[in-house]
Structure 1
Amino acid sequence: MKRLSAKTLLVAALSVAAIGTYGEAQILKVDLSQMVASTDGAVYGTIISKETIRIDHPIDGPELYFTTLTIDGRDLATNAPKKVSVSFPGGFIDAEHGAYNSEAPAEKVVAVGKQVVAFHKWSDNMGGDFASNALFASHGGVYSTFESKGEVIVQGRGDGYAVPRNVRLDRLQESVQFLSSQQR
């Protein structure tokens, strides 16, 4: 039996490791119709509270952090008043206890008092048996708003997001209402 040199074994091992770690990251790209079809609802409103909790779970592991936002506003599909809590993985209880999550929304977007549009979907287990309305696609499911010339504008996030460009809230709401009615 022919013996392989250490150099050959090293090259082979590195090649296998490189192939094993090579994989394309899958970024969820959705348009508005896909977002509406994939969620339970959308709300426009003010973030009135924000709470981060820690779960130590026997199977999923210790130190699971989830942040929950309570948004008080109106349902974009029905225009009915709506108060909903939506959650996402990550967040901090204090300066020392928490976890960063690269998919979490930016802190400035989800601060208490901010007005946002949020798309959500119920999850029986986001991890650690934590059940909540999950902020759909984490940071991809929340959109900042601002006022311009007396109109509320939903800030677009670029190609691949449900709201790629800035749009007036009333126009976004019309689109959500139409898409929701088509899916009933």
Structure 2
Amino acid sequence: MYLYRISNDTKRSNLTFKDMARIPKIGEKLTEKERFCLDAYLFNGDNLDLAYVMSRNNPYQGSRENLHRLALRWLRSPDVKAYVEEKRVIIADKIEKRFSVPEQNAYREKEDIVRELNILADITKDPKQKTEILMKLADLQQMKKDPVEETEDNTVHYYLPLTCHKCSLYIANKRKTGKEDE
């Protein structure tokens, strides 16, 4: 795939393979420190500001709002954006491979599936795929609302008619019906 992309790029730009080899690959312009901080950002998206501060050689002296603006600008830069997208694809592939092992599929529970679908929904950038994943997630969470098993005793109760004319309940009932008939 990579060679196909390079050959298409060379056709469009009239560059030779030697010229294309001189063009830096994804993430090569980033320092080792920046790549490490971006990897940390991928594991916890809340740490963008911290990742930006740690990726710089000099400590940051400005305000918090300006720091967040700079971090977002850094994240939107072409090299960083390409690196993050490439890493997200790699992570998604690893998750997919992890679940393709049959031994792991045998013991999967609803909670595991819901957790992994949430991870995939966060990673996926394609709106169509994200919608499908979220629909599957909603279906699974609806399964959690399965009816609770009835804990009521399932024994059958038989009630026999009263045959005793001396029973107090029978006599009281006869008196009521006798008064109503009059």
> Which of the two has greater helix per residue?
2
Structure with more contact order per residue of length (Cα contacts < 8 Å, sep ≥ 6): 1
Q: TM-score range by the shorter chain?
A: under 0.3
Scaled by the length of structure 1, what TM-score is found? Answer: 0.19
- Select the structure that is richer in strand: 1
